[in-house]
Structure 1
Amino acid sequence: MARIVILGAGVMGSAMTLPAAHAGNRITLVGTHLDEEIIGSVAGTGHHPRLNITLPGAVTACSWTDFGAAMKEGPDLLVLGVSSAGVPWAIDRIAESIESPVPILMITKGLAASDAGIEILPHLLAREIERRTALTIPVMAVGGPCIAGELAAQRDTSVIVAGHDPDQIAAASHILRAPFYHMRPSSDLVGVEICAAFKNFYTLAVGAPIGLLERDHKAPNGALMHNLASSLFSQSLAEMAILVEALGGRIETVQGLAGSGDLYVTCQAGRNGRMGRLLGRGLPYSVAKREHMSSDTVEGAQLALDLGQTLEKMMAQGLLPGDHLPLTAAIIDAICHDAPLGLSFDRYHRC
């Protein structure tokens, strides 16, 4: 039996309690300052209001103010499930609470702009904690197609666990083993994290044909726009592979669960696809966000806003092959510059 602390009581962090509990572990689910209602419900009745399930009895729920006490018990694994915007806050909490090296498994997705270009969050987290505490922490990440509601319902889910230490990957996989949660190891931490972030970004484009169809209406014979969506899906994978390789990952990662698998499941439903639909209808991003999704975090759009300028700079400097990234450039233009989402198939054919 292991002790697991999960920081972040949102849907994915909380869904991770299911495989963790199945393996016979003790789990402390720590809510952020945004999770007070969830923590109150779980602590009182065990019911998670957003997942609409009762969490396992092995789960103890507490506020972030008790995070330090949870860490003092010496957990075998810390699972980080805050939003990407909450990572700086989480780094502060970990740095002030950690007393000895504890492996960290990140389910948080996102990237950060750095002086060198783009940095994956596990590297940022490990570097900052070592700088503040002098502790070297192994940081791993989970990627691949995993809808929180399906995991919470114990539906079969296959994911990639990536990191630089194969022994730590094996240990985390053992702690979280469950007959419905299938974990495959990978040493390509960079590739997995690039895919995990950019799948949201490219879903904006794959979702656009739904809006185009609404704008232009069905054909007289009832035909839809699946051909267009499929072409955009294919182009997204091609450009994702270029980014992954240029940033230090492996192309085969894009071809597996972390790339094509995660992009597929993300395109099925969700906020990124809804924003893509609005862009396809011809709405500028600022209007779509303000009038239709003002209270929603659209991860793909936020990635474009956070990294768009960096990506444009890298293309201009030749660090990224801009001529082979036309869809990437079109999404950046749409989100960062409020331009119409341009779908130039002549340019795709040349890539």
Structure 2
Amino acid sequence: MSIVTLVGSGQMASALTFPLFENGHEVRLVGSPLDDAVIDGLREDDYHINLTRTLHLTRTLHHGIHYYKVDEVETALDGCDLVICGVSSFGVDWFLEAIIPIIPEGIPMISVTKGMINYPNGTLQVYPEYWEERLPEHSTLEIYAICGPCTARDLSDHDHSFVGYCGLDLKKLAEIRALFQTDYYHMDYYHISLTDDIVGLEAAVALKNGYALGTALAIGLKNLCGDDGIAHVNSKASFFQQSVKEMDALLEIVGGTHKMIMYAAGDLDVTVAGGRSRSVGQYLGEGLSMKEITEKLAGQTLEAVVIATRTASAVKAMAEAGKIDAS
């Protein structure tokens, strides 16, 4: 049995408690500064108000799920074997400043946070690289990441999911995978592939949020025109294939391998099928303004808007610098 501490009780981090708990590990779920209401609810009856799922009810002193607020994070980190970063892209700097310096020496970290940082010269940087460049002096922290087509509620419901874990030390990554890989009532449902292409995998799943917004425009346009009983899938498919083409080109630009396009395409598919990124694109297609959409989705993290804006800015900067063709 291992002890795994998840910092940030968002939907995906909370969904990961299912395979971890079922594999017999002690799970410590820590809320971010914005998660007090989530932790309060979990402590009362194990129900996650955002994931809309009940986490496991069986909790004992040495085996189960334990809930902590952010001011208890050091207690939750004490004696752990793995730290999971479960914050959204808006919490990247908070995690860097508040959590990374207090992760115990020798304990690896793996992240489910998706996105990239853009710089004025057009450079796009994935979060593991961003964190590694800013580690405290003499830090030996090893950073890994979880990526791929996996929605939190489907994982919670044990739908078959195939994801990628990335990091430079594949032996250590295999040890981390062993904590999560499932045999739930003799049926594996959480399938994990390993790669050392950190940039490619992280960029692939970050980009899909922006392209899910674009692809979902077709859904909104269909709704705007009225549903006559015909599927109206041609335009959505056209947006989808154009998205895959552009993501593949962008992967090459940022230094990833073309093999990672499989994760971008898979993640694009599940994100267009449902979720906040789809909602933004759908509402745009229906004619709503971004102001109206922001009000309509108040309180939800709009990752699609962040990555679409950052990628567009980066591409424009690279084109102006002559690094890429503007077309």
One-letter identity of the residue aligned with 1:264: D
Aligned partner (choices 123, 148, 165) of residue 129 of structure 2: 123
Distance verdict in 2 for CA 1:102–1:320, change over 3 Å: farther
Structure 1 residue 225, shift from structure 2 partner: 2.4
Contact 2:88-2:301 at 8 Å conserved across structures: no
The counterpart of 1:236, out of the listed 234, 243, 258, is 243
Partners of 2:28 and 2:129 in 1: how far apart?
25
Distance across 2 between alignment mates of 1:151 and 1:120: 24
Shift of 1:115: 5.9
Give matches, 1:33-44, under 5 Å: 33-44=33-44
Separation in 2, partners of 1:40, 1:308: 39
Indicate whether 1:88 and 2:93 are aligned: yes
Supply the distance in 2 between the matched residues of 1:41 and 1:289 (Cα, whole angstroms): 26
Q: How many residues align?
A: 315
Please state whether the residue corresponding to 1:278 is helix, strand or coil.
Answer: helix
1:300 to partner: Cα distance: 1.1
CA distance in 2, matches of 1:307, 1:174: 34
Q: Which moved more, 1:227-236 or 1:147-156?
A: 147-156
Structure 1 gap segments, 5+ residues each:
324-351
Preserved CA contact (<8 Å) 1:207 1:273: yes
Q: Partner of 2:168: helix, strand, or coil?
A: coil
Is 2:108 the counterpart of 1:103? yes
Gaps spanning 5+ residues in structure 2: where?
183-187
- In structure 1, the partner of 2:302 is 298
CA–CA distance in 2 between the matches of 1:134 and 1:38? 35
CA distance in 1, matches of 2:180, 2:53: 22
Query: How far does the alpha carbon of each residue in 1:150-180 deviate from its partner, in whole angstroms, 9 at most, with x for none?
Result: 1112222111111111012101101112122
CA contact (8 A) 1:112 1:120 kept: yes
Taking the TM superposition and a 5 Å limit, the aligned residue runs for 1:167-186 are 167-178=171-182, 179-186=188-195
Query: Which residue of structure 1 aligns with residue 209 of structure 2?
Result: 200
The CA deviation at 1:37 is 1.6
Deviations 1:113-136 (A, max 9, x none): 23661110011122222xx24212
Q: Does 1:252 align with 2:243?
A: no
Q: Secondary structure at the match of 2:324?
A: coil
Instruction: Compare the two structures and name the one with the higher helix fraction.
Output: 1
Match of 1:319 in 2: 323
On the 8 A contact 1:42/1:55 being kept in 2, the answer is no
Match of 2:185 in 1: none
- Aligned equivalents of 1:135, 1:209: Cα separation in 2: 47
| Matched-pair contact (CA < 8 Å) for 1:31–1:62 | yes
Matches of 1:140 and 1:25, distance apart in 2 = 19
How far apart in 2 are the matches of 1:144 and 1:321?
A: 29
Structure 1 letter corresponding to 2:243: S
Which residue pairs with 2:49 in the alignment?
A: 49
CA gap of 1:261–1:307, structure 2 versus 1, over 3 A, is: closer
Q: Which amino acid aligns with 1:54?
A: L
**What pairs with 1:22-41 in structure 2 (closer than 5 Å)?**
22-41=22-41
Residues 320 and 295 of structure 1: CA distance in aligned 2, closer, same or farther (over 3 Å): farther
CA distance in structure 2 between the aligned counterparts of 1:95 and 1:218, rounded to whole angstroms? 50
| CA 1:66–1:302: 2 relative to 1, 3 Å | same
CA contact (8 A) 2:211 2:308 kept: no
Query: For 1:61 and 1:84, how far apart are their aligned partners in 2?
Result: 22
Q: How far apart are the structure 2 equivalents of 1:268 and 1:259?
A: 14
2:72 to 46, 66, 69: 66
TM-score after normalising by structure 1: 0.84
Alpha-carbon spacing, 1:95–1:160, altered in 2? closer, same or farther (3 Å) = closer
Output the CA distance in 1 between the equivalents of 2:134 and 2:98.
12
- Give 1:72 shift: 2.9
Q: Give 2:267's aligned amino acid.
A: D
**In 2, distance between residues paired with 1:99 and 1:273?**
38
SS in 1 for 2:98: helix
- Structure with more contact order per residue of length (Cα contacts < 8 Å, sep ≥ 6): 2
* CA separation of 1:105 and 1:252: change in aligned 2, threshold 3 A: same
SS in 2 for 1:322: coil
